[in-house]
């Protein structure tokens, strides 16, 4: 099964995590009045067949949200880092 | 040597004892340089659309382009259920139209799709859940669709071997029953529509992958494929989990995430279960195929995937549901399990209709309901293509509906698609 | 077949006879027999009837690939159909029956179907059964279902137990033949953790085909002895690796001896699922022999040559006296020579023009008749084989050989299935004419026959095992591979040549009754790709999953279409490799353990004091108490009355609770809630609603401020986990600059609500050291203190509309506080009340709860529109203003009062305006119903088009499912105390 390398807890089964999809989306600034920006952020997806950066929360461990690199066509898993450290790692 | 075109018991006998041979179900057509309509995707929906374009609208200069072999996608991978127990306005009517088409389909196509209207029972495990089912059942009845609300004792009479013991974690409280719901042989649907379309003149082109679109500004004028360029008056996209992949070729993002759904079949056994049963404590559904295997499935695995294979913990979860629902299934053995790419949308309902691009039509986002919608999708999409305007039954399914509101959340599950 | 059990040899224990029952007849075998070998030993030739044509079938193989000998083993609730007799260990008292024949497998009426075979060829059911009426298929289906399927299962619950083990290992080796064992030896010596699994009861793999005491046999035992001394090597026999999944996860199922059987099953787990996470995987899965395709090749007495040899050496059974060996591969000659050695009269019919002189010499020495360059045309016999007609390829002359046993070999195909499960397609090798594993990732290797050529499995295994261990970081000394003499044996499976024409049915797939004619028919109909061929004919779709048919089917398809096999592609192999018991996958999560049960801290008290429980998601909560009535309908009303008239106590521990601390908590809550919380005073609580990004309601709850930088949030029971993750998501991904910590404390606090006009006096008496007066603790006030040396929090909150307080104590103190309040409040008449009454009280108050929070409703729909701040931004604000979400005709919250006392209101009823036709979707529906003790009538909450604009109007509540319709009036949802006088008492 997918095994996710949590920076705190080591490589763990994906069943310990909660998935939240595409991590490359940039959330509009809080208070932005731009309905179009919010609509696009909430409802539109790249949904790539291939390289994906996505959010997983280690709910049965450190409860940190991670960004994980994974190829959606092969399920090859790459690096993971803490989301709070930014996607540009 | 003469060819037999029409299927019947008589023609079976003729084939057996004369020198006549069957006409091919469909020709191995070569692509032509242009068509009035191109349908991208040779699955159930694409083939049904092609059929109804020809049969209902007399539009036969049509090609279906399929990158693999016909029916290699979800139409050949699903759990074969058909039903019309839908709550929301728009959905109620659409799926009932589909069920009515199912009821006449074998005759329409002269191909036995093996529609078995054996009834579907949706279970409730508490009074609150019962009320939710009641709302749905009342709505069905008020729309002229038969439904019955069953108390626990009625359920037990109908299916005596579910778990009614004191060891049951989520005791059965009652259920909603639709007698006209049931199962269909999935491959037969694809092949029946394919043969029907082909015999009306539609070209079915396999091993032809679309690699790009031809555009004139915002108008789509054809496609680039692995077998050359093909021009089209109108183009429809019916590629399910690969919809975003297609849209990307136009710089377009869709409200779709492609997820993995697993399905399972056991070894064939003598008749064991006569109905379709949907568990109410978790998403799980089971029926018995006419070959004898128990066919069942549950939730999507829960993350974007194009791999068409699932994870082992989900296999365990689904097996747990099977035993929780039908304890006698414990000693049966899983013969095979597989996965498909399921295109999930924010509200669990699909998109059918026109797009921001002229002469381009989209059919996608079917989540768990694609197979049962096959005839109505073909019917309505064919109409939409023929008239360049949505058929009334699908007007609520625009791809842009989230600009105006939250669309059609049939199950009230909310935004995060992987929760569905 | 004239079967003889030899006086010596075999891995059986002649000193331990075993008796078993076949359809009521008592037979016997020996310890070490499988059910298949025991049946053969007892001259049971027909072991079943085929799926479609009901042809008599005999045993074909000796292993998991067996397609015909599928029996039902066990009786009553241990009845298990479709078990391959080759995998069932024989044990004392085994009970079994053969399948798919009526009235018996020996004399089966179903065999008459064979007369109709031209009509019932592949796919015939698509071409007929459509008439005369639309529902015709359902009529035919009734009969077809009865002939379909193989064994009959029981509906009774499974008494067996199944376990699940989770494992991590360095090197997982699948298959304990020579290559696998050699790999395990090397990897183990290097120091790595090794898990070696073998699907048979005995290790050895191909070595088991050799005689006891032979070089093969001694080799196997030697390897086993060496493995036994390595501390990090674990061997599991009777364990099938059924699936390889992403992340180097492999699913195994182990079965105990006698797992398939009756009362002999011990009380521990019948089967165990192992979920193994391996750093390295080595596939040593061997090869499967393929049948030959010729007329009547399915007659009982026609077996695979390797299987015949295995029955001879492993079970000491010589299966015939006059044997024809049909060969395309040297391995078949081993069978021929060994049978001759055991006293049979043997003829070898070899398709190749030439074989080695050594083989010819050995054949001559044993008086084996040889025909080269000849292939079978047809087997003869009706219920067992009695002869074979062969044809010489050069001059087409036919020859007939009488026989009582046919041992056929179509060559061997590497067992590649597991290597393909994660998406690496097998690759066709045109020289070998088989599919071999494709290019695997670096942490997976294939050794031995599974690669397509048997070179030196011991050396190969050794090298692979060493490399796997090194890649895991182990560098112990591995020594050298055991020495053994192996000829290079390319596996090479048959494709051609074949007889130019056949008589009788030539089966390609025994289990689906697919013949060569069916393949031709499939092509005629235009189903030409391997996947279409498979689906159309059902080739490879039965329980052997193509192990005996996939290869021959592809070869035939290629030949017919004049294409290379390699260019056709192949069908995908899917897990499980062999069928896996559903119960084994479910493990211990059955019955009440299907899902975890969450209990509140006061659960035991409720249990002992007459509570009936109801599920609320995973929680068990008290539904009603016996003191109030014998059933829920009576009890909840009495419980409500108590609360409205004096005082009641209810357990609300399941609510989500989240502790928020930090300088930016107020700011954070302002963003997350639609209303403001930074302005909340310390010592106060406020009802809050939070939206999803899409503008629909996510959850509601009450958040209290206990300190400048300390807040305490409650959520609904159902959404506790969602909300917690959502808050963490926002803090960690969107606003990491905010200085806020959140901690889930749901299970840390027991929570109870004491409600009713006398609640204050009881509370004051129970907590004399606290000031809970109206002045000190006004409506929505909160305080923290200590009670009995432990923390306590009290909040004056009300869901019910009565004067009420929520009391929080540490979970382990829950029962103490609960019983304390009941004791102190006894003179005031306090009693516990349950979830039904809780829900009903809040309905009267017009509070929304789970059923209204269905992810479709907006704030305004729920009558809470005024809560939303107009001055600050909040999550979901922008999208909540989308045109359809603010439309005037939306369905919004109303109250309903029943106008016809003889009728009833029900949740799920559809609302129509009085007088309009009752068709379509109506204008709304009822969400919750209760008896109102205040108004002494039935009331309800619902959603109605246009909402409170229609107060005073009459509506019809339609419930066609019960044939009911009843009139009600739309009223305000606040049925009691609209001015809030009780709340502010």
Taking residue C132's Cβ as centre, other Cβ atoms within 10 Å add up to 6
Cβ contacts from B onto C, under 8 A: 345
Q: Does C729 touch chain A (CB under 8 A)?
A: yes
Q: Cα–Cα distance between C648 and C622 in angstroms, integer?
A: 14
Contact C945, C924 (CB under 8 A): yes
Residues of B in contact with C921 (CB under 8 A): 88-89, 92, 139, 142-143
Nearest to C557 by CA among C524, C591, C592: C524
Evaluate if residue B173 carries a pLDDT over 60. yes
Angstrom CA distances, B85 to B129, B149, C943, stand at 15, 12, 21
Contact between C211 and C342 (Cβ < 8 Å): no
Contacts of B349 (CB under 8 A, 6+ apart): B91, B365, B367, B397, B407, B408, B409, B410
pLDDT above 80 for B28: yes
Distance (Å, whole) CA A79 – CA C363 = 62
- CA distance, residue B307 to nearest chain A CA (Å): 5
Q: Convert the pLDDT of each residue in B326-383 to its tens digit.
A: 999 999 999 999 999 999 999 999 999 999 999 999 999 999 999 999 999 999 999 9
Looking at residues C392-407, what average pLDDT do you find? Answer: 95
pLDDT at C166 (0 to 100): 97
CB C835 within 8 A of CB C621: yes
Which CATH number does the domain housing residue A59 bear? 3.30.2270.10
Cα C863 → chain centroid: 44
Identify which of B22, B268, B323 has the shortest CB distance to residue C582: B323
- The answer, yes or no, to whether residue C402 has pLDDT greater than 50, is yes
| B-chain residues near C922 (CB < 8 A) | 139, 142
Q: Which residue of B has its CA nearest to C79?
A: B331
Question: Rounded mean pLDDT of B242-252?
Answer: 97
Mean pLDDT of chain B: 95
Q: What pLDDT, on a 0 to 100 scale, did the predictor assign at position C486?
A: 67
- Banded pLDDT at C455 (limits 50, 70, 90): confident
Is B155:B187 a contact under the CB 8 Å cutoff?
no
- Asked if residue A57 is part of any domain, the answer here is yes
Judge contact between B78 and B67, C-beta under 8 A: no
Three-state SS sequence of chain B: CCEECCCCHHHHHHHHHCCCEECCCCCCCCCCCEEEEEEECCCHHHHHHHHHHHHHHCCCCEEEECCCCCCCCHHHCCCCEECCCCCCCCHHHHHHHHHHHHHHHHHHHCCCCCCECCCEEEEECCHHHHHHHHHHHHHHHHCCCCCEEEEHHHHHHHCCCCCCCCCCCCCCCEEEEECCCEECCHHHHHHHHHHHHHHCCCEEECCCCEEEEEEECCEEEEEEECCEEEEEEEEEECCHHHHHHHHHCCCCCECCEEEEEEEEEECCECCCCCCEEECCCCCCEEEECCCCCEEEEEEEEEEECCCCCCCHHHHHHHHHHHHHHCHHHHHCEEEEEEEEEEEECCCCCCEEEECCCECEEEEECCCCCCHHHHHHHHHHHHHHHHHCCCCHHHHHHCCCHHHCCCCCCCCCCCCCHHHC
What is the interface size between A and B, counted as CB pairs within 8 Å? 67
Kindly state the average pLDDT of the residues C651-672.
Answer: 98
Contact C249 A3 (CB under 8 A): yes
Shortest CA gap B342–chain A (Å): 12
pLDDT (mean) for C609-613: 97
Secondary structure percentages of chain A, helix, strand, coil, to 5: 15, 40, 45
Distance CA B414, CA B402 (A): 13
Domain, as residue range, for A52: 3-24+37-85
CB contact under 8 A, A54 and B303: yes
Contact of B64 with B196, CB cutoff 8 Å: no
B194 contacts in C (CB within 8 Å)?
none
Let me know if residue A49 belongs to a domain.
yes
Provide Rg for chain B, Cα atoms: 22
Asked if pLDDT for residue C213 goes beyond 50, the answer is: yes
Residue C552 DSSP SS3: helix
Does residue C968 contact residue C905 with C-beta atoms inside 8 Å? yes
**How many Å apart are CA C404 and CA C391, to the nearest integer?**
19
**Whole-angstrom distance, CA of residue C809 vs CA of residue C392:** 92
3-state secondary structure B349-417: CCEEEECCCECEEEEECCCCCCHHHHHHHHHHHHHHHHHCCCCHHHHHHCCCHHHCCCCCCCCCCCCCH
Task: List, for residues C261-303, the tens digit of each pLDDT value.
Answer: 555 556 678 999 999 999 999 999 999 999 999 999 999 999 9
Task: Note the pLDDT tens digit of each residue in C868-912.
Answer: 999 999 999 999 999 999 999 999 999 999 999 899 999 999 999
Q: Look over chain C and give the mean of its residue pLDDT values, rounded to a whole number.
A: 93
Search chain A and give the residue with CA nearest C743.
A63
Whether residue A14 is contained in a domain is answered as: yes
What does the mean pLDDT of chain A come to?
94
**What percentage of chain C exceeds 90 in pLDDT?**
82
The average pLDDT across B279-304 equals 96
Dmax over Cα atoms in chain C, in whole Å? 115
Cα–Cα distance between C960 and C939 in angstroms, integer?
20
A81 to chain C: which residues are within 8 Å by CB? none
Statement: residue C974 has pLDDT above 70: yes
**Integer CA distances (angstroms), C116 to B12, B17, B305, C132, C141, in order:** 11, 12, 47, 21, 18
User: Which domains are present in chain B?
Assistant: 29-84+87-111+186-256+347-419 (3.50.50.60), 120-181+258-344 (3.30.9.10)
Instruction: Please state the separation of Cα C467 from the chain's center in Å.
Output: 34
Interchain CB distance below 8 Å, B21 and C524 = yes
- Average pLDDT of span C16-23: 96
Question: What's the rounded mean pLDDT across residues C471-492?
Answer: 80
Residues of C in contact with B125 (CB under 8 A): 615
CA distance B355 to B220: 11
Confirm whether A12 is domain-assigned. yes
The span from the CA of B264 to the CA of C53, in Å, is: 27
Residue A44 at interface with chain B, using a CB cutoff of 8 Å: yes
Confidence category of residue B97, pLDDT binned at 50, 70, 90: very high
* pLDDT value for C256: 87
* Residues of chain C by 3-state class (helix, strand, coil), percent to 5: 25, 30, 45
Q: Do B313 and A1 touch (CB under 8 A)?
A: yes
Instruction: Say what the pLDDT of residue B73 is.
Output: 92
Instruction: Give the integer Cα–Cα distance in Å for B271 and C148.
Output: 8
Burial class (CB in 10 A: 0-12, 13-18, 19+), C859: buried
Which residues numbered 54-83 in A keep a CB inside 8 Å of some CB on B? 54, 72-75
Rounded to an integer, the average pLDDT of C483-511 is 74
In a domain, A43, yes or no: yes
pLDDT single digits (tens) C786-804: 998 999 999 999 888 899 9
Check CB contact under 8 Å for C155 and B272.
yes
Q: What's the whole-number mean pLDDT along residues C207-215?
A: 76
Indicate the SS3 state at residue C611.
Answer: strand
**Are the beta carbons of B131 and C906 separated by less than 8 Å?**
yes
- Long-range interactions of C432-435: CB distance < 8 A, separation 24+: C432/C490, C432/C491, C432/C492, C432/C493, C433/C492, C433/C493, C433/C494, C433/C495, C433/C555, C433/C565, C434/C491, C434/C492, C434/C493, C434/C551, C435/C551, C435/C570
As a whole number of angstroms, the distance between CA B345 and CA C419 comes to: 34
Residue B99: which residues within 8 A CB-CB, separation 6 or more? B82, B83, B84, B180, B181, B372
Residue among A8, A15, A16, A42 with most chain C CBs within 10 A, to mutate: A42
pLDDT of res. B187? 95
CA C658/CA C748 separation, integer angstroms: 10
Indicate yes or no: CB of A84 within 8 angstroms of CB of C736: yes
pLDDT tens per residue across span B70-92: 999 999 999 999 999 999 999 99
Residue B352 in contact with residue B362, Cβ under 8 Å?
Answer: yes
C-alpha B401/C-alpha B388 separation (Å) is 18
How high is the pLDDT of residue A89? 46
Domain count, chain A: 1
Secondary structure (3-state) at C603: helix
* A88 pLDDT more than 90: no
What pLDDT, on the 0 to 100 scale, is given for residue B156? 98
Phi-psi region of C286 (alpha: psi -120 to 50; beta: other; left: phi over 0): left
> Would the CB atoms of B335 and C543 count as touching at under 8 Å?
yes
* A58 neighbors A6 (Cβ within 8 angstroms): yes
pLDDT of residue B420: 43
The beta-carbon neighbor of A57 closest among C422, C725, C735 is C725
Strand (E) or helix (H) holding C846: none
pLDDT tens profile C144-159: 998 888 899 999 999 9
Whether A78 maps to a domain, the answer reads yes
Residue A31 lies in a domain: no
Is A30 a member of any domain?
A: no
- As a whole number of angstroms, the distance between CA C834 and CA C559 comes to 74
Chain A residues inside the 8 Å CB shell of B304: 21-22, 47, 52, 54, 72
Q: How far apart are CA C772 and CA C766, in angstroms?
A: 11
Q: Would you place residue B102 in the very low, low, confident or very high pLDDT band (cuts 50, 70, 90)? A: very high
Q: Does A52 touch chain B (CB under 8 A)?
A: yes
- Tell me which chain B residue has its CA closest to the CA of residue C147: B270
């Amino acid at each position: 099964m997918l095994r996710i390398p949590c920076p705190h807890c080591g490589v763990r089964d994906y069943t310990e995590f909660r998935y939240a999809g595409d991590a490359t989306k940039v959330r509009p600034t809080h208070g932005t009045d731009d309905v179009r920006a919010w609509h696009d952020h909430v409802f539109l997806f790249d949904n790539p067949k291939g390289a994906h950066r996505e959010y997983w929360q280690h709910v049965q461990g450190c409860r940190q949200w991670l960004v994980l690199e994974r190829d959606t066509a092969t399920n090859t898993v790459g690096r993971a880092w803490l989301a709070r450290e930014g996607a540009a790692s | 040597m003469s060819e037999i075109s029409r299927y019947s018991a008589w023609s079976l006998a003729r084939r057996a004892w004369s020198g006549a041979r069957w006409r091919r179900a469909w020709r191995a057509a070569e692509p032509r340089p242009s068509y009035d309509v191109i349908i991208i995707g040779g699955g159930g929906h694409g083939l049904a659309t092609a059929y109804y374009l020809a049969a209902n609208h007399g539009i036969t200069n049509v090609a279906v382009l399929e990158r693999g072999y016909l029916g290699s996608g979800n139409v050949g991978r699903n759990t074969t259920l058909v039903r019309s127990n839908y709550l929301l306005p728009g959905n109620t009517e659409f799926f009932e139209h589909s069920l009515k088409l199912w009821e006449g389909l074998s005759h329409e196509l002269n191909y036995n799709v093996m529609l078995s209207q054996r009834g579907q029972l949706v279970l409730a495990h508490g009074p609150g859940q019962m009320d939710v089912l009641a709302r749905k059942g009342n709505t069905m009845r008020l729309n002229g669709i038969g439904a019955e609300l069953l108390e626990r004792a009625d359920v037990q009479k109908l299916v005596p071997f579910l778990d009614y013991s004191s060891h049951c974690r989520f005791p059965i409280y009652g259920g909603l029953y639709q007698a006209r719901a049931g199962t269909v042989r999935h491959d037969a649907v694809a092949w029946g529509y394919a043969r029907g379309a082909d015999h009306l003149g539609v070209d079915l082109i396999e091993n032809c992958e679309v690699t790009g679109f031809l555009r004139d500004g915002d108008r789509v004028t054809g496609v680039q494929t692995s077998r050359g360029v093909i021009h089209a008056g109108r183009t429809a996209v019916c590629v399910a989990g690969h919809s975003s992949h297609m849209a990307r070729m136009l710089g377009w993002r869709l409200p779709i995430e492609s997820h993995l759904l697993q399905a399972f079949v056991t070894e064939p056994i003598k008749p064991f279960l006569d109905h379709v049963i949907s568990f109410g404590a978790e998403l799980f559904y089971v029926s018995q195929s006419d070959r004898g295997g128990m066919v069942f499935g549950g939730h999507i695995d829960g993350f974007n995937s194009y791999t068409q294979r699932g994870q082992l913990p989900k296999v365990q979860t689904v097996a747990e549901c099977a035993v929780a629902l039908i304890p006698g299934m414990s000693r049966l053995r899983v013969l095979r399990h597989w996965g498909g790419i399921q295109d999930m949308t924010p509200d669990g309902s699909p998109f059918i209709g026109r797009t921001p691009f002229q002469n381009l039509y989209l059919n996608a986002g079917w989540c768990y309901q694609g197979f049962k919608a096959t005839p109505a999708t073909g019917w309505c999409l064919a109409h939409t293509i023929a008239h360049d305007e949505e058929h009334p039954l699908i007007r609520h399914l625009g791809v842009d509906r989230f600009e105006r509101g939250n669309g059609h959340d049939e199950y009230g599950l909310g935004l995060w698609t992987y929760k569905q | 077949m004239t079967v003889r059990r030899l006086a010596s040899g075999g891995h059986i224990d002649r000193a331990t006879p075993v008796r078993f029952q076949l359809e009521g007849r008592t037979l016997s075998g020996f310890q070490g027999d499988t059910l298949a070998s025991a049946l053969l030993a007892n001259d049971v030739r027909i072991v079943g009837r085929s799926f479609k044509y009901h042809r008599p079938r005999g045993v074909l193989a000796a292993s998991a690939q067996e397609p015909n000998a599928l029996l039902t083993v066990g009786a009553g609730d241990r009845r298990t159909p479709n078990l391959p007799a080759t995998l069932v260990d024989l044990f004392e008292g085994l009970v079994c029956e053969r399948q798919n024949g009526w009235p018996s497998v020996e004399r089966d009426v179903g065999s008459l179907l064979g007369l109709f075979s031209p009509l019932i060829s592949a796919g015939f059911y698509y071409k007929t059964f459509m008439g005369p009426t639309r529902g015709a298929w359902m009529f035919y289906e009734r009969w077809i279902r009865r002939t379909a399927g193989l064994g009959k299962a029981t509906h009774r619950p499974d008494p067996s137990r199944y376990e699940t083990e989770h494992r991590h290992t360095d090197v997982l080796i699948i298959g304990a033949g020579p290559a696998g064992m050699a790999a395990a030896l090397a990897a183990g010596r290097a120091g790595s953790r090794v898990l070696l699994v073998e699907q048979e009861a005995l290790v050895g793999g191909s070595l088991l085909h050799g005689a006891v005491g032979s070089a093969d046999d001694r080799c196997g035992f030697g390897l086993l002895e060496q493995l036994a001394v390595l501390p990090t090597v674990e061997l599991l026999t009777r364990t099938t690796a059924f699936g390889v999944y992403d992340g180097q996860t492999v699913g195994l199922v182990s079965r105990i001896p006698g797992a398939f059987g009756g009362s002999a099953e011990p009380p521990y787990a019948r089967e165990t699922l192992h979920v193994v996470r391996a750093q390295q995987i080595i596939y040593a899965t061997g090869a499967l022999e393929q049948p030959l395709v010729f007329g009547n090749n399915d007659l009982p007495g026609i077996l695979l040559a390797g299987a015949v040899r295995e029955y001879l050496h492993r079970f000491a059974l010589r299966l015939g006296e006059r044997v024809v060996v049909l060969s395309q591969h040297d391995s078949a000659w081993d069978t021929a020579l060994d049978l001759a050695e055991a006293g049979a009269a043997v003829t070898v019919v070899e398709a190749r023009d030439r074989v080695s002189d050594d083989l010819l010499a050995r054949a001559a020495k044993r008086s084996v008749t040889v025909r080269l360059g000849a292939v079978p045309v047809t087997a003869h016999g009706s219920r067992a084989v009695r002869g074979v007609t062969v044809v010489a390829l050069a001059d087409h002359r036919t020859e007939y050989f009488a026989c009582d046993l046919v041992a056929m070999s179509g060559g061997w195909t590497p067992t590649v299935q597991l290597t393909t499960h994660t998406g690496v397609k097998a690759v066709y090798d045109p020289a070998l004419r088989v599919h071999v594993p494709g290019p695997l990732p670096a942490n997976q290797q294939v050794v031995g026959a599974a690669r397509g050529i048997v070179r030196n499995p011991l050396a190969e295994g050794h090298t692979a095992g060493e490399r796997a261990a090194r890649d895991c970081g182990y560098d112990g000394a591995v020594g050298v591979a055991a020495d053994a003499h192996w000829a290079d044996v390319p596996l090479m499976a048959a494709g051609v040549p074949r007889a130019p024409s056949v008589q009788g049915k030539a089966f390609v797939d025994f289990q689906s009754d697919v013949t060569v004619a069916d393949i031709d028919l499939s092509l005629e109909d235009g189903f030409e790709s391997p996947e279409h061929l498979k689906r159309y004919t059902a080739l490879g779709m039965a329980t052997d999953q193509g192990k005996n048919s996939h290869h021959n089917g592809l070869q035939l398809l290629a030949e017919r279409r004049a294409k290379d096999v390699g260019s056709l592609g192949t069908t995908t192999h899917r897990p499980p490799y062999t069928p896996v018991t559903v119960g084994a996958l479910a493990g211990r999560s059955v019955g009440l353990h299907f899902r975890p049960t969450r209990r509140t801290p006061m659960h035991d008290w409720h249990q002992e004091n007459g509570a009936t429980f109801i599920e609320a998601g995973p929680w068990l909560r008290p539904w009603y108490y016996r003191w109030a009535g014998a059933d829920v309908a009576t009890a909840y009303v009495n419980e409500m009355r108590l609360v409205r008239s004096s005082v009641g106590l209810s357990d609300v521990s399941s609510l989500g609770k989240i502790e928020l601390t930090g300088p930016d908590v107020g700011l954070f809550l302002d963003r997350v809630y639609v209303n403001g919380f930074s302005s909340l005073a310390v010592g106060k609580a406020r009802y809050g609603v939070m939206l999803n990004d899409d503008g629909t309601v996510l959850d509601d709850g009450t958040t209290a401020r206990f300190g400048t930088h300390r807040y305490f949030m409650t959520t609904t029971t159902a959404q506790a986990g969602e909300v917690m993750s959502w808050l963490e998501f926002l803090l960690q991904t969107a606003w990491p600059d905010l200085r806020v910590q959140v901690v889930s404390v749901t299970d840390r606090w027991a929570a109870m609500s004491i409600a009713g006009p006398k609640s204050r006096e009881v509370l004051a008496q129970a907590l004399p050291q606290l000031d809970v007066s109206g002045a000190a603790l006004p409506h929505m006030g909160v305080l923290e203190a200590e009670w009995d040396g432990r923390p306590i929090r009290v909040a004056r909150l009300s869901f019910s509309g009565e004067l009420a307080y929520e009391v929080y104590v540490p979970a382990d103190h829950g029962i103490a506080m609960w019983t304390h309040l009941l004791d102190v409040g006894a003179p005031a008449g306090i009693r516990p009340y349950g979830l039904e009454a809780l829900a009903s009280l809040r309905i009267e108050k017009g509070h929304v709860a789970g059923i209204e929070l269905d992810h479709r409703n907006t704030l305004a729909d729920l009558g809470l529109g005024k809560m939303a701040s107009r001055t600050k931004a909040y999550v979901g604000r922008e999208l909540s203003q989308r045109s359809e979400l603010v439309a005037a005709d939306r369905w919004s919250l109303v109250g309903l009062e029943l106008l016809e006392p003889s009728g009833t209101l029900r949740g799920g009823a559809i609302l129509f305006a009085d007088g309009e036709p009752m068709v379509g979707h109506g204008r709304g529906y009822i969400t919750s119903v209760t008896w109102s003790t205040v108004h002494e009538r039935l009331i309800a909450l619902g959603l109605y088009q246009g909402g409170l604009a229609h107060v005073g109007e009459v509506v019809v509540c339609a419930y066609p499912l019960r044939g009911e319709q009843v009139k009600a009036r739309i009223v305000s949802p606040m049925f009691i105390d609209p001015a809030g006088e009780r709340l502010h008492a």
